[in-house]
Structure 1
């Protein structure tokens, strides 16, 4: 989303605070005060899930996770990761009195900022839509579900690509900071505390494989090209071998096409 989206989020938050303040002045009890208070512990980001060998993801606090990502900006225009989100809101449903469960949280957006290791922003932050329904916890344990978040958008990746090219393709280390927002089925707005995750971005540092004959890079229509072995791909967040047939040109031609 654009800066207009961020402005609308800020305006909405400001309005909510003003309405809450007016409600507090009008209320005589302390119950409303606790309802208006910000609580970043109800919803939280736990970790970045690790994809399996076939690049699928299993969601759950006991599944494998990563502590950093590494991407090559020569072969990806943006970068998305699957995050595990937890919900600690107390269950309220009760079938004995026909009370529906209102503590499930429907995730709807994430706000992302990308900065260097010194905290300097790479580009403006952005807000992106997300999806996922997170159940409330049981017996003191949080409920969990996964959501995909755009950690590095196109504009940010362009900036990092240029920076890496100026360093001869070397790593640019950044930190993506994420706030995930949701709404309970009872209408309560909730959001996570800031969650930060490191990503290393290079330009052209991955191994790229040209076919033999080289003409197959541009077109795989001939029988000779179709019989060539496939290059094993890597999952998003990893640097692996690249196949020129996925690029539609030779590896060197693809790198030159950026004009960096």
Structure 2
């Protein structure tokens, strides 16, 4: 006979297990953890290549400025886009693809992930991937969760959508009001070596207003440093990572 106390204990155990399954993978947000346990999730690829990636767009105010600068520099990049924004600005997504850039998935909206919501994750991530396919003409390969927090639900949804999660191995801290081009460059170059994946932002949608200007100002300086060190700069698709494919 199951007592009320036993039932409560079983329920508490199940809740704890669910919470552990959901939150446990988020430990990969810590650079030392993912460098040790999952270099691929850390974005480590071809040692002669640096993968340049941008999050949080497309944004009609700022993204075109990055596209113009990338074109001037003859550099292509990967843009982790939000599905809701891509649906709102599909012409900008088509321009990215036409100019040789790669579209990847950053989720449907930029939301905090702490409460388990597997059903919603399983609906929204494929929806974002389908939007990328419809706009760009190719099914995306990569997924980077908002805030870089890869929960169990997000991981399961990514696998179902045929997406490979990729975080980053160098970032510019370009989302703060105090960010400057020199500061962004210093942050990135502190971890810059062949094979890294660099995270920057082409939008201030969830950052300090106009913070994207620091990343834009740092961009030509960063590309110059990479080239001086003999490293190519390009999208994740040229970084030597193996992508998941939908079954």
Same fold at TM > 0.5: no
Q: Normalised by the size of structure 1, how large is the TM-score? A: 0.22
More contact order relative to length (CA 8 Å, sep ≥ 6): 2
Larger radius of gyration: 1
Richer in strand (by share): 1
Q: Normalised by the size of structure 2, how large is the TM-score? A: 0.23
Richer in helix (by share): 2
